[in-house]
Chains A and B, each alone.
Chain A
Amino acid sequence: MHMADALISPAVGIAMWGATAGVASYSLKKINMEADEKKLPLMGVLGAFVFAAQMINFAIPGTGSSGHLGGGLLLAALLGPYAAFLTLAVVLFIQALFFADGGLLAFGCNVFNLGFYTCFIAYPLYRRLIRRTNIWFASIIAAVVGLQLGAFSVVVQTLLSEKVELPFTTFALFMQPIHLAIGIVEGIATAAVISFVMKAKPELSTTTNTPTNRLIGTLGLLALLIGGIFSSIASSKPDGLEWSIFRTAGTEELHATTTLHTTLERLQQSLALLPDYNLKNGGASIGWLDIGTSVSGIVGVFIVTIALFVPYMMKKWRKET
C-alpha cells in the first residue's frame, strides 16, 4: 500500500507531510520521553524488528500463497499509539530511502495511511474489542478497519493528485477487497504474535491511554456517514443566499468582470481540489450514491477534523508545558 512519488501531486504530498508532522509532534509531546528514556532503545529496536519479522513469511492455509506481518497494530499494542506512530514513521522513512518502498514526497501519505489509521483508529478499536471478545477477533477486526481506511486514503490521494486517469469506483473496488484479505492475514499474524508474547511475558502488553473517547468516536463516525453517504441525497436546490440573489438578480451566482476578479477566480478554480463539492473530472455514481460528492464529503470531514484538532492540541501542549 506504499504510495510512490509518481502517483501524487506536490500539493497532496505537501499537505500530507503537514498532517503527518502535526500528528508526529503531538505524539512526541504525549510520550514524554524524558520520563521514560528506556522507551527510546525499545522503539528503535522494535522498528528494526518489524523489518526483520517481514522477512519471515508464513503459509496461508488453503491458498498456496504466503503472507507476512505488517507490524503497525503490533507496534501499537506493544508501545502504545503515540510511540508506535513515531516508530512507524521512522520505519517508513528508512523504507523510502533505503529500499525505495514508497516515495520521499509521498512519505507523508504513507505515514498517514499506514500509521495514523492503525495507531489512532484501529488500535483504540482493538483495545475496546479485546475487553469483550478474544484477541483473534479483536486483532482481525482492528487490522481490517485500519487497512480499509488506509486503502481508501490511497484511492482519495491518488484521485486528488490527478496524475492518473482512474475512475473512483473501479479503483476503490480494486483496492478495498484486496486490502480486506490483507487485513485478515495481518490480523491473524498480529494475534499469533501477541498471544504468544502474552503467554510468555504478560507484562509487556501496554496500558497506555488511547486518545479517543466514545463521544469523539461517535461524532466522527456520524460526520463520516453524513459527509460520505447522506451528502449524495442532499438537495441540489439553491441555498437561502443563492435563492435571494436569484430573486433579486435573476441568477444564483453573481459574476464580476474586472481583471482582478477573473484572475482570482481562475486561481481559485485551479487551486480548488474539489470544485463544487465534486471531483475535478466529475464522479461516477452507484445508484443514488454520487461518488464525487461522497468523496468530497469525507475529505471535508477529515480537513475540518484536522483543522479543529491541531489548534486544540496546540493549546493543550501550551497548558501542559
Chain B
Amino acid sequence: MIDVHVSNMKERRHDVHPLSMLIITFTYIFVVASFHTYAFIELVPLSVYPITMIVFYRLSIRHIKRVLLASLPFITVIGASQLFFIHEHVSFFHWRIEAGWLVFATLLVKNTLAVLAATVLFLTTPIEQLAGALLSLRIPRLLVIQLLLTHRYIFLLLEEAKRLRQAYMLRASQHRAIQLSVWGSLVGHLLLRTFERAERVYEAMTLRGFSIQRMHIKIERWTTKERIYTYVTVILFIVYRLVVI
C-alpha cells in the first residue's frame, strides 16, 4: 500500500483543479446513489467517467483492484441476502430472471462506481491540494490541518506497526496472531512512542513559529476554464439522472 502510494505521488499530474475534482466526485456519487434498486442497465453508462479518468491519467490498476476488493465483503453479504428475500421475477432483456439477482448486481455496480470515483479523486489529487480545496469550501482550518497531520503520520506509524508485528512473529513463529497477554503492552508501547513523537512534532512546529491561523495551505486559483469544465460535467451527470429514470 505504501509503495503504491509513493509511486502514485510521483506519477500524478495535476491537470484538473482539486476543487473541480471534489465537486465532480461528490456529484457523481450522489447521482449513482440516487438510482433505484433495479437500475443495473441505467448505471452502466456512468462507468464512462471513472474509466476515462483511469485511462487518461494511467492510474495504478493494481491499487484500484486492491481497493475494490477491500470494499466488497460487506456489500456482497448484503447483496447476496437479496436472493433470499426477493422472490419475484423480472424481465431483463429477453430473459426472465429473479429480481434478487438484479438487485444484487445493481448493488455491486453501484459500489464499484462509487469506489472507483473516490479512488480516482485520491489518485489524481495530492492531499495538500485537496486540503486547499477543502479550505475553499469553508471546512474549518483545524480539521484540514488535522487531515494533513494524520495523513503525514499514517504511513510512518504503519511502518512502525509492521516492524513490531514482524519482530513478534519472528520470535514466536508458532503463533498465528499476537497473544492477548502481550498485545496490550505491545500496542501500549507503540502508543507511548506515538505520544513522544507528538511531543517532538509540536516542539519542532513551535520552533518554526507554528500557529493554526498562520499555517500556510495553498489554495489554488479556480480559473474560468476550470469552472466551466466543472459546471458542464456536473450538469451532464444531473441531466443523465433526470432523463434516465
A residues lining the B interface (CB < 8 Å): 2, 4-10, 13, 24-25, 28, 33-34, 37-38, 40-49, 51-53, 55-61, 66, 69, 86-87, 89-91, 93-94, 96-101, 103-105, 158, 162-167, 170, 188-189, 192-193, 195-197, 200-201, 204
Contact = CB atoms under 8 A, between A and B. Distances in A.
Contacts of B189: 196
Of B148, B151, B152, B192, most A-chain CB atoms within 10 Å: B151
Interface in B98-145: 103, 107-108, 110-111, 114-115, 117-119, 121-122, 140, 142-143, 145
Chain B interface category by residue count:
35 or more
A10 B114 contact: no
Contacts of B143: 24, 28, 86, 89-90
B235 interface: no
A49 B191 contact: yes
Given A49-B190, A104-B26, A6 B75 contact: yes
B207 interface: no
Nearest to B134: A93
A164 B150 contact: no
Contacts of B188: 192-193, 196-197, 200
Contacts of B152: 44, 48
A93 B59 CA distance: 21
A6 B178 contact: no
B228 interface: no
Contact of B107 (A38, A93, A164, A193): A164
A165 B30 CA distance: 21
A101 B153 CA distance: 19
Contact of B81 (A33, A51, A166): A166
Contacts of B86: 165
A59 B176 contact: yes
B180 A5 contact: no
Contacts of A105: 26, 29-30, 33, 114
A41 B212 contact: no
Contacts of A6: 32-33, 75, 107-108, 110-111, 114
Interface stretch (B50-58, B155-163, B219-227): B155-163
A55 B82 contact: no
Interface string B155-180: 01110111011000000000111111
Contact of A13 (B33, B162, B176): B33
B192 A45 contact: no
B158 A97 contact: no
Contact of A58 (B33, B75, B160, B183): B183
B140 A193 contact: no
A46 B187 CA distance: 12
Nearest to A195: B184
Given A37-B211, A47-B150, A197-B191, 8 more contacts: A4-B75, A7-B107, A45-B197, A45-B198, A66-B177, A100-B68, A105-B114, A201-B192
Contact of A41 (B78, B121, B198): B198
B156 A48 contact: yes
Nearest to B125: A97
Of B68, B75, B156, B210, most A-chain CB atoms within 10 Å: B75
B41 interface: no
10 contacts: A6-B110, A8-B33, A13-B30, A42-B195, A56-B183, A93-B147, A97-B122, A100-B70, A100-B119, A163-B37
